[in-house]
Amino acid sequence: MITFACGLIVVWAGGTGQRRLALTAVLTAVLAGVGTRDIAPIVAQRVFEDSPNAASRERPYEATRAGYTRRAYAVDRIVVTDSSPAYPTLAEAAVGVSDWDARPLARAVEAESRLGPGARVAWVSRPDGLVGVVASPQPPPAPGDAAPVGIVVRTLASAADARGAPVRLPAPESDDDALLLTPSIILDTASGYAVVPDSAGQVAGAPLTSPLERLAEALSVQNLRLWFQELPGPRPVLVTVREARQRVAALAPFFAQGTEVVPLVVGDSLVWAIDLYSASSTYPLSQRFVIAGQERSYFQHAATALIASSTGVVRLVADSALDPIAATWIHAFPALFVRAGAVAPPLLGDLPPAIDGLRAQSLAFGRYGTRLNSRPPGQPAVVDGADSMLAAQLPVFALPRGGPTALEIPLLDVSERVRGVLVGEGGARHRTVWLANAAPQPSWQAVLDRLGAADSLARPPNVTAVHGVVRAFALGRRVAFMQPTYRWTPGAVPSLLHVAYLVNDTVRVAPTLRGAAGVVLPSMESADLTSRGARQTMIELYQEMRDALRRGDWDAFGKAFDALGAILSKPQP
């Protein structure tokens, strides 16, 4: 109305030649618009926000939003009455909590094995504890070239030798610690097409057996040489989509993909695992969070995509408990999905935890709790205590009593005290469990400060150290903490310097958590000093001793000397 009245005044003033009046009316309209749109809401909020009835007016709306948020992120599926993911003793935690972060583990294994650069790391649970699987897959060879060899090395994630290097496990049915892989047609990052032989008829691709098929596929990839050149046989097959994510997106574009592509070892080949989610940014009334790089108002785990790297076959393993969106798509396209029972038990047990789903649930559960929990736990920690090159990684655990791998996120209240940990399990169930901290709740910043102070006191002088992510895990009815520190100079091979751990309000430093708990390494077979692997290890130790002596690093010299002595003292077969 103010703008309309000012407009009439401007018209009348312009007709009568009263320019000052017209200019005054225009300025009045502008100021009134700014005042009603920007200033008045702020004033009204200041006046009425502190009124006694403000909270009661907002309470129904907040209850509605909390209900829709719990439904959108499957918060009510969180188990709050099961303590089985908690470690009963420090000894059991020592084999399930990783002393290594993924990046330094991959770099250390690359330096001491035949792995090429860019190795991928996966975590699996075994009877000996958490195992880090470091894989270096290789694509199929070009015509006329030698077949490249991919390599997998298994390491004990909760151990290090006297030098601080990873403890490698022997490969199955081999006298070496490296498992050779078949060439991988499908990679986590790949471009272009590949022509591969398919004598068994298992590769998911276009056959190139007849001249007409070869001409059609040559035109499709705009390369006429496929029509007349010699192709690898028998039964050549053309695979055009070789990136795991693109292959899954072509089959299930209606699901959002997780941020991780995890390599799982099956026999002598790899299977890529990608989490799939029912996701929406338009679900009404739900709280929005930034998840997997986008703002979402609905996010629930729906399935896991398994892509065989050597054949390109994709299987979508549906969850046992489905949300309405996932159930609708599975009902519409049942041939795309398989049930968990159709997957081999070893592979099913190695499925990784759903990292993005757990992050979404931690935000929603921390803010609103469950319907039966009137006191929300709080928000995930923003600072994880790691240096910049290792920050923003969620460490993986092996749950006790032969349980699957899992992720654990500490939740903090408004005063940043640790209320407990939210555990996201991998394997067949993909369930989430809340473990509350029954002990006096420490401040998260106090935990970081005490671990950092213990590391500073125990660290040798003139050592370039890199700190890993602080691990928070349930130990009994308490929450314990551990942080690894690596000796890692730029361009050098990282090694584990020590770990600092906080248990029962006491901070200690030890070479490994396994050593602190008195858990010995699993028995290894007697080493043959004449074998190629043992000779290469002794040569590397001897060279490391010479290098340490040259630069005057007596701490590194002593560790290499002890490691060499440990090898020489092993009984011979």
DSSP per-residue codes, 190-237: --S-EEEE-TTS---SEE--SHHHHHHHHHHTT-THHHHS---SSSEE
Predicted local distance difference test score (pLDDT) of residue 526? 42
Listed range (247-256, 329-338, 539-548) with the worst mean pLDDT: 539-548
The pLDDT of residue 527? 44
Lowest-pLDDT choice from 116-120, 320-324, 541-545:
541-545
- Could you give the number of structural domains in the chain? 1
Read off the tokens for 125: 């649970």
Q: What percentage of the chain reaches a pLDDT higher than 70?
A: 79
Q: Is the pLDDT of residue 222 over 90?
A: no
- pLDDT, one tens digit per residue, over 281-304 is 999 999 999 999 999 999 999 999
Domain that holds residue 546: 532-568
Per-residue pLDDT reduced to its tens digit, 75-113 = 999 999 888 999 999 999 999 999 999 999 999 988 877
Residue 520 counted as domain residue: no
What is the band of 525 on the pLDDT scale with cuts at 50, 70, 90? very low
**473 lies in some domain:** no
CB 148 within 8 A of CB 183: yes
**Which residues are registered as beta bridge partners of 466?**
486
Residue 220 CA, distance from chain mean position: 37
**Residue 538 in domain:** yes
* pLDDT score of 173 more than 60: no
217 forms bridges with which residues in the sheet? none
Q: Is residue 541 part of a domain?
A: yes
- Residue pLDDT, tens place only, 110-158: 887 766 667 889 999 998 889 999 988 877 666 545 455 577 889 999 9
What is the rounded distance in angstroms from the CA atom of residue 333 to the CA atom of residue 572?
Answer: 59
Average pLDDT estimate for 414-435 = 92
Coil, strand or helix at 81: coil
Pair of tokens at residue 423: 């555990």
Residue at token pair 């990783």? 98
Q: According to the model, what pLDDT value does residue 193 have?
A: 86
- β partners of residue 307: 272, 314
Q: What is the percentage of the chain residues whose pLDDT exceeds 90?
A: 43
**Amino acid sitting at position 409:** I
Q: For residue 539, is it within any domain?
A: yes
State both tokens at 147.
Answer: 């077949």
Highest mean pLDDT among 117-131, 200-214, 465-479, 553-567: 465-479
Given a cut of 80, whether residue 192 has pLDDT beyond it is yes
List the beta bridge partners of residue 502.
Answer: 481, 507
pTM for the whole thing?
Answer: 0.81
Average pLDDT over residues 201-211: 87
| pLDDT value of residue 529 | 46
Q: Read off the pLDDT of each residue in 318-325 and give the average, rounded to a whole number.
A: 92
Query: Which pLDDT score is estimated for 41?
Result: 65
Among 7-11, 202-206, 218-222, the range scoring the smallest mean pLDDT is 7-11
Q: Which residue has the higher pLDDT, 318 or 115?
A: 318
pLDDT of residue 10: 63
pLDDT value for 12: 65
Residue 536 falls inside a structural domain = yes
Cβ–Cβ < 8 Å for 244, 304: no
Give the number of other Cβ atoms within 10 Å of residue 170's Cβ.
15
Q: Which residue has the higher pLDDT, 161 or 521?
A: 161
